[in-house]
Amino acid sequence: MRGICRVEGVSLRWLLGFITALYRDLPDNLNGQVRTETEALIIYALESEIDEMLSFVGKKANKQWIWLAIDVSSRQIIAFHVGDRSRVSALALWKSIPQRYRKHATFYTDGWQAYEGLIPQKQH
């Protein structure tokens, strides 16, 4: 982020305020678009990658985990959650994934224990 500030000539405070405002205004469904169904025989599979990454806010002691679910083919983020690295946060991410994905998609994860039993075995 500091690199962005240097290149764009803005302060870190301004950039964080800008990102916060954008985040606050995002719709809950992130404008996700699931492929439409058709009468023609088109074979495709819904596939999603789920992962989490560590970041911190303000100081290193304030750790936050960013959980993402990404559509494999379009690379579109279909859901996200910011929290800790617990099963509660994994469940919050799972609930924010569109129903069609939760019902039909195959999910690829890093095998973190929070996913066990959360994603149906045949889809994980």
Q: What is the pLDDT of residues 43-75, one digit of tens each?
A: 557 899 999 999 888 888 888 899 999 999 888
Same domain, 53 and 81: yes
Residue 24 confidence (pLDDT) above 90: no
92 and 54 together in one domain? yes
Number of independent structural domains in the chain: 2
Of 42 and 115, the structure prediction assigns the larger pLDDT to 115
Residue 36 within a domain: no
Whole-number Å distance between alpha carbons of 55 and 101? 27
Q: Locate all alpha helices (DSSP H) within 1-124, ordered by sequence.
A: 2-8, 12-25, 87-96, 99-104
Q: What is the pTM of this model?
A: 0.64
66 plus 104 within the same structural domain: yes
pLDDT digits (tens, 9 = 90+) for 83-116: 998 999 999 999 999 988 888 899 999 988 998 8
Q: How far apart (Å, rounded) are the C-alpha atoms in residues 84 and 67?
A: 9
Residue 81 in domain:
yes
Residues 75 and 20 in one domain: no
pLDDT at 42: 53
Question: Domain range spanning residue 122?
Answer: 41-124
Residues 51 and 105 both lie in one domain: yes
Q: Which of 101, 95, 96 is nearest to 124 (CA)?
A: 101
